[in-house]
Amino acid sequence: MGSFVDLSYSNQTVRDQSQVYAKRRRMMRTEGERDSNLVQTSSQTNDSTGIKRRPTIVTDETIEHNPPQSGPNKCENPKAVDQSSAAKELDVRKEEVSENGGTEGFKARPFTFAQLVAATENFKSEYFLGEGGFGKVHRGKLVDTGQIVAIKQLDRNGMQGIREFVVEVVTLSLADHPNLVKLIGYCAEGEQRLLVYEFMPFGSLEDHLHGRRPNMRRLDWNTRMKIAAGAAKGLEYLHDKMKPPVIYRDLKCSNILLDEGFLPKLSDFGLAKVGPVGDKTHVSTRVMGTYGYCAPDYAMTGQLTFKSDIYSFGVVLLEIITGRKAIDETRSGTEQNLVAWARPLFKDRKKFPQMADPDLEGQYPMRGLYQALAIAAMCVQEHPNMRPLIADIVTALNYLASQTYDPLNPSPQTSRRAASSKKDCEEGPNASNGPRGIKPED
């Protein structure tokens, strides 16, 4: 016999679902308008170095339901978009920005497609650097200036489209910070969509942590803290200095590029969104990001906040400290997910040394390790209000970066092998309380 079905309940469910789908369609129609707010009022890419990156999740799920997917999903088909709209919209935005007081307008230079063909010698295979969600990347040399650049070409069959192209051009054109990658220019000629960046010779953080080539030296503790502090400064600029503030939404190791001297620069701003202002606490939007880095609260509700970026930063900081990937399918069980693996260890300070990257070979300051792990633990708190503000993170990491560790002459207070390490294990900073100067938001 068939099971009893409450038809009245089912009909109500259908009506509820219809309302949900109707709301979803309205939100998707207004998504472009919200992105335009970024273009009007504010100011990919490990690709600029040729490092392949983890696929980006792009889902149509809105605030009503559904957890994050574990793989890339197309949000929209770029072919369905009028390819001529990008150039027109950029022209409109440039006029709006130039009329907006307090800004110097667009800094990015428009290129013709012929200029970029010449720069890459018709996209010569020897100049190919890599491929990401946006498309292929080639190294090039601008004919008129001789500058070495990275040129990223939109794949019209790829995961990102015109909207992301426009958002990235506008965001980087109006941004100005040493820890953000510089956009040299763009091409929106006919159906061609290309972005021209400064060339980053040291590749991406992901490459140094997880894909080291034989001739690439390991990152020592001092360099890791320098990179973490610099990345935090870039995020602080987006959150606190840009007007209006911007939520990055795609912070991960592959999007942290390294200039000479291991100066970190955030890249790939196609998913950036204007943050909540005034009395608003969040921005309701489609769930977009990368599995393993996406904050669980944002993934479950679609409510995007600045604390969503803080969670992602915590994952990156854990990768820097542990050398593990955010998601590593070669491992078993809970060890596949970095945060899930780390959370039980946060509760026992005696296990903190087990979390240090084996590539460090024990050459790190014990107290610095505790403090860095405490910062990471606070950033990946499940409740967003328990995560610290980016300004506090910058203060704490600046301090750690300033405490230079010398493995040849470690001080008794900082050496892992010092006699005080046992006491530090027992009395070191508690991950729930955090290091001095950093605390969860009230």
Return the DSSP state at 277.
Answer: -
Rounded to whole angstroms, how far apart are CA atoms 100 and 170? 14
250 is catalytic: yes
Continuous H helices in 122-251: 162-174, 205-210, 221-236
Catalytic: which of 35, 250, 357, 424? Answer: 250
- The closest alpha carbon to 268, from 80, 42, 85, 55, belongs to 55
Q: Do 108 and 39 meet the contact criterion of CB atoms below 8 Å apart?
A: no
- Proportion of the chain in helix, strand, coil states, percent, rounded to 5: 45, 10, 45
Beta bridge partners of 204: 257
Beta strands in 89-209 (DSSP E): 109-110, 128-131, 135-141, 148-154, 183-187, 194-198
Query: Is residue 280 marked as binding?
Result: no
Rounded to whole angstroms, how far apart are CA atoms 267 and 289? 14
10 Å Cβ neighbour count for 146? Answer: 7
- Mapped onto helix, strand or coil, the DSSP state of residue 390 is helix
* Cβ partners under 8 Å of residue 157, min gap 6: 78, 79
- Mapped onto helix, strand or coil, the DSSP state of residue 233 is helix
From the number of C-beta atoms within 10 Å of its C-beta (0-12, 13-18, 19+), residue 145 rates as exposed
Q: Which residues are annotated as a binding site for ATP?
A: 152
Active site residues: 250
